[in-house]
Amino acid sequence: MIPEALTLGTALIAVAAFASGLAAVMLLYGYVSRSEEFRRLTMAAAGVSTLSLVVAHGYLTYLFVVGDYTYAYVWQNSADYLSLLYRITGVYANHEGSILFWATLTAVVATWTVYSSHFEGRGSRLAQSISLGIVAVFATMLVSQSPFTPIEVAYPDTPAGFVPPDGDGLNPLLIDPWMAIHPPITFAAYALLIVPFALGIAHFVSQFRGEVSVFDEWLESMVQWLRVSWLLLTAAIVFGGIWAYGVLGWGGFWSWDPVETAVLIPWLGLTASLHAINRYGKTGEYPIFAPASAALIFPLVIFATTVVRSGVFRSVHSFAAGGIGTGILFLLGVTGTLAIVLPFGYWFLRAEETQRPADEPWLSRRTVYHGAVLAFGVLAFISIWGLSFPVLRSAATGVEVAVGQDHYNLWSYPVVVLGLLAGGLYALLDLRRRRLAIAATGVVAVLTFLAAFVTPSANWYLSDPAAHDPLVYRIVGTASVLSIVPPAAFFAGSWIARYVSRIRGVPSRWFKLRETGIVLLHVGGAVLIVAVSFVYLFSTSASVAVIGVGEAADNPEPIVEEVPDSEYTVAVSNYETTEAPTIEEAARTPAEMLAVSEDVSLVRGEITDTDTIENTAVARLDDSDVWLASSDAAVDFETGTEVIARGPVFGGQSLETDADAYVYTDTDNMGTLEDPPTDVHEPRMVSHEIDLTVYDGDEPVAEGTIAEQEYVNSEMNTNDALIERGVTGDTYVVGQVDEGGASISIDTYPLANQIWLGTVLMMLGIAIVTIADTTVRRR
């Protein structure tokens, strides 16, 4: 390693890499040799590893908060004008920082299992060794691609010791409150999956060695981890959707962009796994699939990370593209292979054929439940395949193919319908009314089929397939979206019926609470599926250009435009621009100016002394060594006034603290604090805002502000939408705005609130189940 690259932060990460590696090796030794002799050293090593990562992450956050641009990563992802929240967002805005964050959380989780007294015994040592081994891989990756790389190492052309006066900025798309919390939640969810992975792998190793696995011992707590992870991952996806809806205008909540698809894959895997493990815990079914699925989610997460970071999968999230660490690919290869090969190997070589009770009918609860688990697997595969085959095919033949939303929507749709039918049937079978259950499901299946042909208008078709599209797309695409209603209603109804029947007469409050959580989860899922199916097909769009909105600023009369091809009218009543940073914020104090040593500086301060040197008027600022100088006769330096001035700095190249520095200015470049010389100021961001009212006929349907932000450095713009929420749907107004004009589009998203309702119910449900189970266990 280059010595100058070894900064304090990198050293901390290197310590973590070494300590976690050491702990992993000692734990493995403990497992193999059946000894506990290095117990205390192991705990110390794991502790040191986590502590160094926590400190490193804290230190990086500190560097962002104070704006220390000695480090390239900080410089690339932050700037002085950003508020505290977005400086902290910058910490995980890019590859290095987010991996550090993920590694830190993973280390905390892994070390906790080492310290906790719950996890004793040989198999636990193996699981802990695997977890800490992965922490070591993460940390090693970070040593070679460190967020603490000094700017002169990352950019060899910069002069030694140069510290940029201001950061390069944060990707404008990330300047949003939802984006501030989305990554931490995502990575917390990811971090929790390390233990199920380690346990799943340890389980199969134990099985192969003919030993007792600790999987069952850990099962209850592991299920809770998986549930919390599921909750967090769901929240992360929802927040991402809210962000896309509010900030991007890229087509609503979801656009089957590779990054969005990627994050859904571990979620589907996790959902399938929770179902399998739930069954395993109760009845011992899925003896191979349950631990295998637990192990498989982590590689799926790594796969998702590869999609997000590699740049191989073309995505609208171009901020995420960039070099991917070989470490990630290594992790994907190793964890994926382990999680697939071990269970399969065990299945082929060792597993005994499970016997089914002779009297069990073919259409049993077990079979139906299995169908539902498989449905999640198939959904995950549709997404994985949709992401992968264009890349594979292009690599193999050079032919590029398009994978649009039809691939995901139309293939998934029948699977979802079948999944809903199976889920509903399962709930009814649980009521032990077998005949009724099968008959009801049959009726609903027929209704579903019939509903597929009911299309009151063209909007109801699932897709708009062209004549040359593949047959499957033409068949599924010409079905009516109404066909989702009978199975979803049946599913929700069956789960409610099951709930009512199960809690009736049961005195345990915790049992009832748990069942409430379960029913909320399933009903929420049904609501979500229906809302999502309808929202896209029935969303409408209309747009209009309004010219000369700049004039609306001074005009009491709003500019009114009718929106073509619609009943809408828009009235623009105000136009405003705001800048960040403002000139007052951008101007440096004399002390800051001396610290950053620029050729041309914008400085502010109170004139505390005036003088004349060789016909040049000079004025001292804030009793410091910084003086303003001007030979412009019109400039009037007056003691006691606070001024902002810009100009070339004389004597400022190698300023000693006791040397004087002069900023040469003139009337155009100087002004008082009340009347600053705004023309000399280049803000990082200019926001154009208009107030408007949208009428549908004579009825006002939306009123508020829309805005467009221009980010000068990154040549990127963002838009603030105006969202008027209603029970039946949202009116969504967004547009490109500048002084010359605004191009406003008015969209409607029906059932938007029902999407949020569905996800809230699901998150509430899983939280209740988790809490109820924890409390019951404690007792």
Partner 1 sequence: MTPRKLLTIVVLIAVLGFGYYSMNAAPVLSDHDYTYQGGLEWHEDPDEAMAVAQAEEKPILVYYWTTWCTYCQDYERNHYQDEDVRDELDGYVLLAINLDDPGPGVEFAREHEASYPPQHVIMTDDGQQLSRLGGFTELDRFHAELESGLEQYEQ
Which positions lie near partner 1, rule CB under 8 A? 250-251, 255, 257, 314-316, 318, 354, 356, 362-364, 366-367, 370-371, 374, 377-378, 381-382, 385-386, 389-390, 393, 398-404, 407, 411, 464, 469-470, 472-473, 715
Q: State the nearest-atom distance from the C-beta of 623 to partner 1, in Å.
A: 48
> What CA–CA distance (Å, rounded) separates 755 from 730?
11
Output 464 or 623, the one with its CB closest to partner 1.
464
Q: State the nearest-atom distance from the C-beta of 246 to partner 1, in Å.
A: 16
Q: State the nearest-atom distance from the C-beta of 353 to partner 1, in Å.
A: 9
Q: State the nearest-atom distance from the C-beta of 193 to partner 1, in Å.
A: 24
> What CA–CA distance (Å, rounded) separates 43 from 375?
42
Output 469 or 668, the one with its CB closest to partner 1.
469
Taking residue 661's Cβ as centre, other Cβ atoms within 10 Å add up to: 23
Output 165 or 251, the one with its CB closest to partner 1.
251
Output 48 or 387, the one with its CB closest to partner 1.
387
> What CA–CA distance (Å, rounded) separates 667 from 627?
16
Q: State the nearest-atom distance from the C-beta of 250 to partner 1, in Å.
A: 6
Token code pair at residue 335: 């964890």
Q: State the nearest-atom distance from the C-beta of 178 to partner 1, in Å.
A: 20
Distance of CA 105 to the CA centre of its chain: 16
Distance of CA 618 to the CA centre of its chain: 53
Q: State the nearest-atom distance from the C-beta of 252 to partner 1, in Å.
A: 10
Q: State the nearest-atom distance from the C-beta of 398 to partner 1, in Å.
A: 6
Task: Give the largest Cα separation in the chain, rounded.
Answer: 110
Output 86 or 313, the one with its CB closest to partner 1.
313
Output 388 or 753, the one with its CB closest to partner 1.
388
Distance of CA 149 to the CA centre of its chain: 25
Tell me the one-letter amino acid at 141.
M
Token code pair at residue 546: 């309004």
* Cα angle 201-375-217, degrees, rounded to a multiple of 5: 30
Which residue, chain included where needed, has tokens 């850990």? 218
Nearest of 611, 705, 701 to residue 660 by alpha carbon: 611
The span from the first CA to the last CA of the chain, in angstroms, equals 54
> What CA–CA distance (Å, rounded) separates 266 from 665?
60
Q: State the nearest-atom distance from the C-beta of 260 to partner 1, in Å.
A: 10
Output 37 or 400, the one with its CB closest to partner 1.
400
Q: Is the dihedral of CA 547, 553, 555, 556 positive or negative?
A: positive
Give Cα separations from 243 to 115, 169, 416, 530, 733 (angstroms): 38, 20, 26, 21, 15
Output 39 or 366, the one with its CB closest to partner 1.
366
Q: Is the dihedral of CA 584, 590, 591, 597 positive or negative?
A: positive
> What CA–CA distance (Å, rounded) separates 779 from 441?
40
Output 65 or 438, the one with its CB closest to partner 1.
438
364 CB burial (10 A radius; 0-12, 13-18, 19+): middle
Output 544 or 580, the one with its CB closest to partner 1.
544
Nearest of 259, 194, 196, 267 to residue 234 by alpha carbon: 267
Output 389 or 650, the one with its CB closest to partner 1.
389
Token code pair at residue 483: 């066909």
Output 330 or 381, the one with its CB closest to partner 1.
381
Nearest of 130, 137, 63, 60 to residue 103 by alpha carbon: 137
Q: State the nearest-atom distance from the C-beta of 437 to partner 1, in Å.
A: 16
Q: State the nearest-atom distance from the C-beta of 708 to partner 1, in Å.
A: 13
Q: Is 351 helix (H, G, I), strand (E, B) or coil?
A: coil
The per-residue DSSP string of 265-278 comes to: HHHHHHHHHHHHHH
Distance of CA 187 to the CA centre of its chain: 8
Nearest of 735, 738, 743, 742 to residue 687 by alpha carbon: 738
Output 58 or 470, the one with its CB closest to partner 1.
470
Q: How many residues does the chain have?
A: 779
Kindly give the residue spans of alpha helices, DSSP state H, lying in 209-257: 215-243
Q: State the nearest-atom distance from the C-beta of 685 to partner 1, in Å.
A: 18
Taking residue 553's Cβ as centre, other Cβ atoms within 10 Å add up to: 13
Output 411 or 491, the one with its CB closest to partner 1.
411
> What CA–CA distance (Å, rounded) separates 540 from 71?
47
